[in-house]
Structure 1
Amino acid sequence: MKFLNKLERKFGRYAVPNLMLYIIILNAAGLLITIMYPQAQYYLCWSTSAILHGQIWRIVSFILVPYTTSPVNFLIFAFLYYSISQTLERVWGSFRMDMYIITGLLGTIVAAFLVYFVFGVEMGMQVSISYLSNSLFLALAATFPDVQFLLFFIIPVKAKWMALLSVVMYLYDLMQVVNGLGWMPYGFAMLIMIVFSLINFILYFLGTRDLQRINPREVHRRRDFQKKMGEREQSGRPLHKCTVCGRTDKDFPDLEFRYCSKCDGAYEYCSEHLYTHKHIVAHSYDKQ
């Protein structure tokens, strides 16, 4: 993504390494607070109406609400997502990792405000780092789809299938809300919450795909090329012919042919003459 490259060149020196580690530490602190003072969770969790009435700390304190109240499950969560974040940070770099995390958190916050103002729905405990954690897993699956996880510490499952299962679970949760409360307003509120909270993965996925291949002009060009190749095959003419020796792919099917970028025109050469021929430049010959 060109925009992200520009940001990295300008602000990359301000990147915070291991940002996900600090978020996990905050979440662990929230777990300890919740265990010692269960009622404290009420003052830490997200509440749009409370924020609008002055309790602005909730914009940040929702990060402290523990992913799970089970210490054992929390240790598994912390180890898994710290490992995932470290893997992605080694591939992306600290700045891009920070941007991914911050975009995910901002998406969650924007979604919570949006559903409150549009539908009047208070998301409460739905606003948590669970979406951020799942977006990290989806990013890992998109980057390394064939990496394996041990489901229940026994069954090896590739990341791409685990990611698909995660998407299915999102759809299941959405349908549970719809079946219980209906689409309006709770179903749409939940849908907006899911989409906006995963905006970091959506932007990452679109930014790393080769979208040029679905460009209508590119699709039309490929179809014309395939049509011409099909017509040439039916006519019995060779697809490739060496400019120097005249050998073709029909006579020598194992021979490789390439175009020369230094020649002035579409001149093709076999592998034997690609680097030894005289370059054709504007009606003159220039020795290589």
Structure 2
Amino acid sequence: MNWLDKLERKFGRYAIPNLTMYLIGGYVIGYMTSLMQPALLSWLTLEPAYILRGQVWRLLSWVLVPPSGSLLTIVIMMLLYYQLGTALERTWGTFRYNVYIFSGILFTVLGAFILAVFFGTDLVGYGVFFSTYYINMSIFLAFAASYPEMELMLYFVLPIKIKWMAYVYVAYILYDLVRGNWMTRTAIVASLLNFILFFLSGRNMRPYTPKEQARKRKFKKQARPHMTYAGGAMHRCAVCGKTELDDPGLEFRFCSKCNGNYEYCQEHLFTHEHVK
């Protein structure tokens, strides 16, 4: 089991379904703010100097700042990334997709503070370099890595395989890395570090096959009525009654030889008496 499997087993119940929809909803809020109160956007950007002075909301509020462009461009972008993000969530599972997105956000925040350490924590102006642009690009690159042969209709007319578009994006990123200053380079690397780490780790982001997805949906549907325990626990040993709330390190498994949905902790999985 890799580290993502272990994390999903312990914290998977906290994953946020349809995370892409919430991200796009944040863009809508940010875009409406830019139309009605454009000066307010300067209070949302990622500025380590202001965060260290107590404006801690900037740690998250910067994700509300919408990308630049016309209204039509932004709407097309939102529709595209909603489709890509939703497809990735179905392929990877909700928890893994959550980890991918939130790690990109976390790395971006860390990148901003690393720059602040090197160039001075009193310096402001980092916010113009750190945005969700490259995080959105990481979604596109992840989708291209998972479905390289899928075709998209470029400008709704020209069919093109998504892998070729990804190559163009990578070339554009490399160009920005070469010609940009250290702030631009740090923003790019920090925003795309989730893609680099997840896909270099190989099977960590291996897509679930359609058969695996169907099996997971069937299991959740069958197990849901039997996995609603006190305190919100999702697992309980049929022998000792322990749940993951009693010991987060416990592992639970269903027994295939028992007649019914009986779950056991690792201490009793092989020592219990089978229910017939």
Same fold (TM over 0.5): yes
Distance across 1 between alignment mates of 2:68 and 2:24: 12
Distance across 1 between alignment mates of 2:104 and 2:152: 24
**Residue 191 of structure 1: which of 165, 185, 198 is its match?**
185
The aligned counterpart of 1:206 is 200
Paired residue type of 2:22: Y
**Residue 175 of structure 2: which of 150, 172, 175 is its match?**
172
Distance across 1 between alignment mates of 2:179 and 2:36: 33
| 2:29–2:64 contact (8 Å) kept in structure 1 | yes
Q: Tell me, what secondary structure is at the counterpart of 1:150?
A: strand
Q: CA deviation at 1:148?
A: 1.2
Q: Tell me, what secondary structure is at the counterpart of 1:195?
A: helix
Q: CA deviation at 1:161?
A: 1.2
Distance across 2 between alignment mates of 1:69 and 1:31: 11
1:4-83 correspondence runs (5 A): 4-83=4-83
Distance across 2 between alignment mates of 1:145 and 1:116: 38
Distance across 2 between alignment mates of 1:166 and 1:69: 18
Task: Could you tell me which runs of 5 or more consecutive residues in structure 2 were left unpaired when the two chains were aligned.
Answer: 205-276
Distance across 2 between alignment mates of 1:69 and 1:165: 20
Q: Tell me, what secondary structure is at the counterpart of 2:38?
A: coil
Paired residue type of 2:91: V
Task: Could you tell me which runs of 5 or more consecutive residues in structure 1 were left unpaired when the two chains were aligned.
Answer: 178-186, 211-288
Distance across 2 between alignment mates of 1:140 and 1:52: 36
The aligned counterpart of 1:144 is 147
Q: Tell me, what secondary structure is at the counterpart of 1:66?
A: coil
Q: CA deviation at 1:209?
A: 5.8
The aligned counterpart of 1:123 is 126
Q: Which has the larger radius of gyration?
A: 1
Distance across 1 between alignment mates of 2:69 and 2:27: 11
| 1:100–1:200 contact (8 Å) kept in structure 2 | yes
Paired residue type of 1:68: S
Check if 1:132 corresponds to 2:126. no
The aligned counterpart of 2:225 is none
| Matched residue count | 201
Q: CA deviation at 1:173?
A: 2.2
Q: CA deviation at 1:193?
A: 2.1
Over the aligned positions, Cα root-mean-square deviation in angstroms equals 1.7
Q: CA deviation at 1:16?
A: 0.8
| 1:31–1:69 contact (8 Å) kept in structure 2 | no
| 1:44–1:61 contact (8 Å) kept in structure 2 | yes
Which has the higher relative contact order, 1 or 2, with Cα contacts under 8 A spaced 6 or more apart? 2
Q: Tell me, what secondary structure is at the counterpart of 1:54?
A: coil
Distance across 2 between alignment mates of 1:98 and 1:40: 28
The aligned counterpart of 1:220 is none
Paired residue type of 1:59: L
| 2:112–2:126 contact (8 Å) kept in structure 1 | yes
Q: CA deviation at 1:70?
A: 2.3
